[in-house]
Structure 1
Amino acid sequence: MANTRLSDLLQILVYLKVHEGEKLPSTIIAASLNTNPSLVRQMISQLSKAGILKTQRGSTQIDFCRPLDEITALDVYRASEPTHDLLVVDRNTSQTCSVGVAFPNVLAGHFDQLQEAIEARLAKITIKQLVNETQADIARHVERDEAKK
């Protein structure tokens, strides 16, 4: 089963910046994610605890703790408090089968290298970059819709 928490956390951050200055209750943000407002509040709390966002109790005002070019996707990944790596080896294999005994160890080495590479790449992606790319994509959609009229 796919874990979409990182994607959702990143989308919340981009949404907050794209709609900066607007009143943004969790119901509005939740609509963008197709989820419920309580889950959005929980994710915003996670981002606050990680020092990425500043919130005020009873207010819809949410601010970033640092400039967007200093917040990376790796920061957000770590804020999601993953309980395991992105790729996990199935270790519940037959201990009476030579492949069942050996293969998980072989695969674990490859998965460890992939995890390191993924984290290195996430460290290079900033929230500012994601905001800029999202705004450019929004503009392309608007242009395409205008051209259809």
Structure 2
Amino acid sequence: MRIYLPATFTVLAAALADGGFRDAPYTAYAVTPELRAALGTDDEEELEYAAMGAAAEESARLLAASPDTPARRVVVAAEVPDRVVRPAAAPDAPARVRVEAEVPLKRVASAHVDDAAAAPDVAAGRTEDHELLWYATQELRHLLE
């Protein structure tokens, strides 16, 4: 199952140093039956985009609670076995899931991060005009430099 882990630069740096996301369980976002029903579509691309957007919103909330980390949203996309994902959807968060296991780096597919120029808007909570940029796994260490 493809999951979207909301993160920050600090969380991403720790995951890279530790070889993955080791402090399970995690709140993540994914295409769930609840999300399908809420959006009324079976378009996988649209559903994945919505799940990633929900993770980006959660990343913004994490940033608001961590003023010392760079003001750039981070969403990590990973493939995990269905058996480690539990439903956690709420009426206001139909894509929310709970990941009950570690997510090793080998499971990470990509990361999606705000451009550095978006930081002032992100810090002010104005994220609606900014799309996340795609980064391959081999680029992640360089992204944090």
TM-score normalised to structure 1 length: 0.23
Q: Identify, as 1 or 2, the structure richer in helix.
A: 1
Task: Work out which structure has the larger RCO, using CA pairs closer than 8 Å and 6 or more positions apart in sequence.
Answer: 2
- TM-score, normalization: structure 2? 0.24
